[in-house]
Structure 1
Amino acid sequence: MLTPVAQYVRMSTVQQPLSISIQMAAISAYAQKHGMEVVRTYSDEGRSGLKIDGRDGMRTLLRDVLAVPRRFDKVLVFDVSRWGRYLDVDESAYYEYHCRKHGVAVIYVAEHFTAEMTPFDSLLKQLKRTMAAEYSRELGAKCRSGQVETVKRGFATGQLPCLGYRRQSVSQGGDPGKLLGPHERKPMATDRVRWVLGPPEEVATVQKIFREYADGVNLATIARRLKAAKVRSHNGSPVTVDMIKKLVRSSVVLGTFSWGHRSKRRRTSTGIPALPQPATNTHMVDPIIDPDTWASVQQRIAAARKWFEFGYDDELLLNRLREVLARHPDLSYSKFARYGLPQPATYIRHFGSVTAAYVAAGRDDPTERVRRPRQALSSCIGKRFTSDVFDLVAPHAESCRLERRLNLVCLDGAEVKVRVAKACRTRASQPYWFVDHLERTEKVGRWLLILCLNHDTPTGNEFVLLPPNEHTKFSGRLTTKVLERFAPYRIGDAETLRQRLLQVCTSPDGGRQLALDL
């Protein structure tokens, strides 16, 4: 009976069409010779062996090894390099040990050592892993040297910016070829690729992006405008914030192509020392952005990076606010995000208020509005107004109790519910006052005191003290007509309000007779 086994095959690039077939033929011959039958194939085509990321076949194999029951107990691999060219040889040994620990042996059919864990086999296997990693390092160094020389000669490598440029093939003799579309390769292996300017409308869009960003417009706003204008990138996809972020950092807009920057956030090392400085050329493509605009954009990017890495400080916040105020003197806090400023809450946290930040930044009239003087008992906060009412009556009443949670003032035998009515206007600019969250089931015998906030009308800035028989029919909306109906209950000043409340609390029947008299 044949022993069921699995096989793992891998090729580094899609330009090796026979690699998978050669590996599978060698594995099939080994299986027939040793009485095995391949029942499962795991394949990674066009995947590098430097890391396991993106190798779906290897990751599926490592998961299936844990399955119970399992159809196979052995995995056949062509050689050590197909298993992986991990720069850390311990990583390759770890994945093999993972399989062996769960009862699956890894057999390399083209290697001279066996699956037996003899000292010679272990030493030879480790040597082969080191040789595979060293081959990757040497090949990477040779490829990078070729890329650096290619860039210095005036050609390009890497991904295009989202707008403004196209790829063009150049023959070995230097003759320009056709423009290459998205994901299109150069016609001949000996050809090179350079960047050329795209359509004039795209170039104009790039220039507009840099001007707006230099003027303080943030990237999200620019992206929304491009989306509204139905602007597409060179490959037909919508332009996103990340695309614009890469574009404003690309020095090719100045006519200088640069390659070889090492990202600080790179998770894995290639084992190749970083270039002392990036490879550049200045004769491939003409500039489309002037140096002054470029300097302004890079200065703003540096400030944003400093904010991100070190947080905000007062000087940074004020400098940025001064820059925006110089261009937009009528700036309001609602437009901070539009011009790339931090949130108003950040300025409030550092300076106490946005107004104080305006003053510190040198703005003459930060508020640009006339504030009305605060009237007696005119706080727009319900609990504050309730406390004001209590302070107004308590010194003159025999028994007075305040319940802040309920906005209630208890005066001897009467209870007064205190509420604030917001000043509003209809679409026809007719004034009215509205009481939010008015309880429809008020306690029987409870009075209702309403403060009508100043509305710049003859009837504004007054109080309405409604007895129980009236406020139970009140809907919460005070129009001019309703106020005319409530004329006996309207009070125009704090002194009259105090006298009326004292009459309520001194009335032996809890103010019922007073309500009838009114």
Structure 2
Amino acid sequence: MSTDHQQYSTANQSQAIREYATRHGFQIQTTYEDNGKSGLNLDDRDALKQLIDDVQSGAAGFSTILVYDVSRWGRFQDADESAYYEYICKRAGISVRYCAEQFENDGSPVSTIVKGVKRAMAGEYSRELSVKVFAGQRRLIELGYRQGGPAGYGLRRQLIDQNGAPKGALVRGEHKSIQTDRIILIPGPNEEIETVRFIYESFVYHAKSEREIASYLNGKGIFTDLGRPWNRATVHQILINEKYVGNNVWNHCSCKLKGHRVHNPPERWIRHDKAFNSIVDDETFQAAQKIINDRAKTYSDEELLDLLRGLLERHGYLSGLIIDELELGPSSSAYRARFGSLVRAYELIGFTPDRDYRYIEINRALRRMYPELIETTVHGIEEIGGTVEQNVETDLLSVNDEFTASLCLVRSQETMAGSHRWKIRFDAGLRPDITVAIRMNQMNSAILDYYLLPRFEIEHSHAALAEDNGLALDAYRFDSLDMLFELAARSQLMEVSYGLGSIH
């Protein structure tokens, strides 16, 4: 079950199953219960996975499985998936009975047809619920109310009642407790407001770059709303966010029905302009957007290489750091994306760095990447509706006060045989619930994939990943951080679904 709602609370299901067992002379031997879990897929259904494993391994010491109703296998979008799990049980000689259905699960044409319809209805229920939840959230955004996530630097969340009367500010991690209450954004402390305006004025009227602004703020001892030093990414986020001119914009990205998290085009964004009191005036904000858009020039391959030749002539050497210091030119990541790696771009203009320097350059690049990766992860969790606190000394992330996560960048190392290995060092002092091992590709120029390694699977302080690690480890491999975001979003999404009844 995903909520405690109506007949699908586990207590009610258990009671119905016990009564069915008594009436039919069964003795309940083992219970498999997924409490508070979504039934859209098998990912978080540990009890159901254990049931299937017990059945397939022959460890099941029972002859019959009692299920509350057909939908309890899951509200899968593919109706055949729940049929598949039932078939696994039957193939092992274990019968399945449904305690709250009006038909006997005897394999007759009638029961087969009814089960097929009910499986399709279970999936359709989730689709309809998703549409209704989205429509309700969209309506609230269009009315000017804030939906999920922290307010951000310079702003605060204000709780108001159903009549629009203020009830008090919500601090980070607090949520509303009354369904009819709503949340809006209000300006924060004066010192934060002045800092936001300083960022815009420095960028627009004094031609300062995001990196220069971040360096100045750090020099003044001013920290972000998370208590961390500023960097280029955090300054850039303030410069592009419309909430600072009072606009309420939602649906930049979405993750529906446990699918992949996708970034939506602007025409699909939901907005209410001038919903909140602005901190920055429209003229300054639009000027900042123009500067950002104008510098996003698309270079041809030859133009990129010509710029690289100019840098080589000027400095006598090339590195990612030298390239990135050219504020109005392409970044080192642009060269990696276009040519596959910086080394390949160097080769095209006849420059060959020595191997030792390349090793140092890779480590420097990873150190520069790490803060922005942390920032991206925090932003992604908050954008999907989760809350996250970061320890400024260890970078340990505490998500929803439910679990901790630690991110580590893992560089690729070539062995004497020409294969590649990725050595992970686990921090025994932090003991995070999840270690996110971020593997770099073989050239260490871009992220290859992500391993979300739970603590109970970690037996040693070190681990080594190969190009092929087998199912035991690759079961934790993902192409993006979407799975981490889904873990953070789960309770918030269920809370929205639970309150759907009052949205029309």
Report the TM range for the smaller structure's normalisation: 0.5 to 0.7
Once residues 151 and 29 of structure 1 are traced to their aligned partners in structure 2, the CA distance between those partners, rounded to angstroms, is 46
Aligned-residue RMSD, C-alpha: 4.7
Do residues 36 (structure 1) and 34 (structure 2) align? no
Q: Which runs of 5+ in 2 are unaligned?
A: 336-341, 353-504
Query: What is the distance in 2 between the residues matched to 1:82 and 1:224?
Result: 57
User: Deviations for 1:109-140, whole angstroms, at most 9, x for unmatched residues?
Assistant: 10122232111111000111112222222222
Say if 2:186 is the partner of 1:186: no
More displaced stretch, 188-197 vs 334-343: 334-343
Question: Relative to structure 1, is the Cα distance of residues 329 and 209 closer, same or farther in structure 2, using a 3 angstrom cutoff?
Answer: farther
- Residue equivalent to 2:242: 251
Q: 1:202 to 1:40 in 2, by over 3 A?
A: farther
1:365-376 aligned at under 5 Å gives the runs none
Pick from 307, 313, 338 the counterpart of residue 301 of structure 2: 313
Counterpart-to-counterpart distance in 1, 2:307 and 2:245? 27
Structure 1 residues 68 and 180, CA gap change in structure 2 (3 angstroms)? same
The 1-side partners of 2:180 and 2:169 are apart by: 16
Alignment of 1:63-102 (within 5 A): 63-102=53-92
Q: Is the partner of 2:28 in helix, strand or coil?
A: strand
- Identical positions, percent: 31
Larger Rg, first or second structure (1 or 2): 1
Paired residue type of 2:187: L
SS, match of residue 50 in structure 1 = coil
SS at match of 1:179: strand
What is aligned with 2:349? 351
1: distance between equivalents of 2:220 and 2:55? 51
Cα 1:57–1:225, aligned 2, differ >3 Å: closer, same or farther?
farther
Shift of 1:149: 1.4
Tell me how far apart the structure 1 counterparts of residues 208 and 146 of structure 2 sit (CA, whole Å). 31
TM superposition shift of 1:95 = 2.6
- Map 1:301-450 to 2 at 5 A: 313-316=301-304, 333=319, 334-337=321-324, 341-342=331-332, 345=343, 348-353=346-351
Which SS does the other structure have where 1:172 is aligned?
A: coil
- Asked whether the 8 Å contact 2:130–2:257 carries over to 1, the reply is no
Q: What is the match of residue 136 of structure 1?
A: 126
Note the alpha carbon deviations across 1:411-466, whole angstroms, 9 max, x for none.
xxxxxxxxxxxxxxxxxxxxxxxxxxxxxxxxxxxxxxxxxxxxxxxxxxxxxxxx
Equivalent residues of 1:113, 1:121 under 8 A apart: yes
Shift of 1:201: 4.3
Partner-residue secondary structure (3-state), 2:32: strand
| Residues 1:241 and 1:291: Cα distance change in structure 2 (over 3 Å) | closer
State the alpha-carbon separation in 1 of the partners of residues 116 and 267 from structure 2: 33
Describe the superposition over 1:350-381 as per-residue Cα deviations: whole angstroms up to 9, x where unpaired.
43359xxxxxxxxxxxxxxxxxxxxxxxxxxx
Cα displacement (A) at 1:171: 0.8
| Residue aligned with 2:27, SS | strand
Query: What is the CA–CA distance in structure 2 between the aligned matches of 1:243 and 1:75, rounded to whole Å?
Result: 53
TM superposition score normalised by structure 1: 0.52
* CA distance 1:352–1:155, change in 2 (3 Å): same
CA deviation after TM superposition for structure 1 residue 28, in Å: 0.9
* Larger RCO: 1 or 2 (CA < 8 Å, sep 6+): 2
Name 1:27's counterpart in structure 2.
Answer: 17
Q: State the distance in 2 between where 1:125 and 1:274 align.
A: 39
Change (3 A) 1:320 1:353: closer
Equivalent position of 2:415 in the other structure: none
| 1:189-204 map, 5 Å | 189-203=179-193
Q: Secondary structure at the match of 1:168?
A: strand
Q: After the TM superposition, which of the residue ranges 241-250 and 282-291 deviates more from structure 2?
A: 241-250
- Using the alignment, how far apart are the partners of 2:134 and 2:143 within structure 1? 14
Q: Is the 8 A contact 2:96 2:105 kept in 1?
A: yes
Aligned to 1:120: 110
1:105 matches 2:105: no
Structure 1 residues 212 and 171 mapped into 2: Cα distance closer, same or farther (>3 Å)? same
Indicate which of 267, 277, 281 corresponds to 2:272. 281
Counterpart amino acid of 1:290? F
Change (3 A) 1:67 1:205: farther
Aligned partners of 1:244 and 1:95: how far apart in 2?
A: 50
Describe the shift of the 1:316–1:72 C-alpha distance in structure 2 as closer, same or farther (beyond 3 A).
Answer: farther
Structure-2 change in CA distance of 1:119 and 1:168 (3 Å): same
Give the drift of 1:158.
2.9
1:187 alignment partner AA: S
What is the CA deviation profile of residues 279-310 of structure 1, one whole-angstrom value per residue up to 9, with x for unaligned ones?
A: 1012223144722223434566x66xx79xxx
SS at match of 1:196: strand
User: How far did 1:257 drift?
Assistant: 2.0
| 1:133–1:186 CA distance, 2 compared to 1 (3 A) | same
Q: Matches of 1:263 and 1:215 in 2, distance apart?
A: 33
One-letter amino acid matched to 2:349: F
Query: CA 1:75–1:298 in 2, change beyond 3 Å: closer, same or farther?
Result: farther
CA distance in 2, matches of 1:69, 1:198: 59
Alignment of 1:175 onto 2:175: no
Deviation at 1:207, TM superposition (A): 6.0
Is the Cα contact below 8 Å between 2:187 and 2:279 reproduced in 1? no
- Report the Cα offset of residue 153 of structure 1: 0.9
Normalised by the length of structure 2, the TM-score is: 0.53
**Alpha-carbon contact 1:161-1:247 (below 8 Å) kept:** no
Check whether the contact 2:3–2:9 (CA below 8 A) recurs between aligned residues: no
What amino acid sits opposite 1:294 in the alignment? Answer: Q
Contact 2:160 2:167 (C-alpha < 8 Å) held by counterparts: yes
> Which amino acid in 2 is paired with 1:351?
I
Specify whether residues 50 and 284 from structure 1 end up closer, same or farther in structure 2 by C-alpha distance, changes over 3 A only. same
**Structure 1 residues 157 and 125, CA, compared in 2 at 3 Å: closer, same or farther?**
same
Distance 2:3 2:76 in 1: 16
Give yes or no for the alignment of 1:290 onto 2:308. no
Structure 1 Cα separation of the partners of residues 255 and 6 of structure 2: 33
Q: Structure 1 residues 175 and 320, CA, compared in 2 at 3 Å: closer, same or farther? A: farther
Displacement of 1:89 in angstroms is 1.1
CA–CA separation in structure 1 for the residues paired with 2:309 and 2:274: 39
Give how far 1:203 is off: 4.5
> Does the 8 A contact of 2:97 with 2:104 survive in 1?
yes
Q: 1:47 aligns with which of 37, 55, 68?
A: 37
Aligned to 1:455: none
Preserved CA contact (<8 Å) 2:305 2:349: no
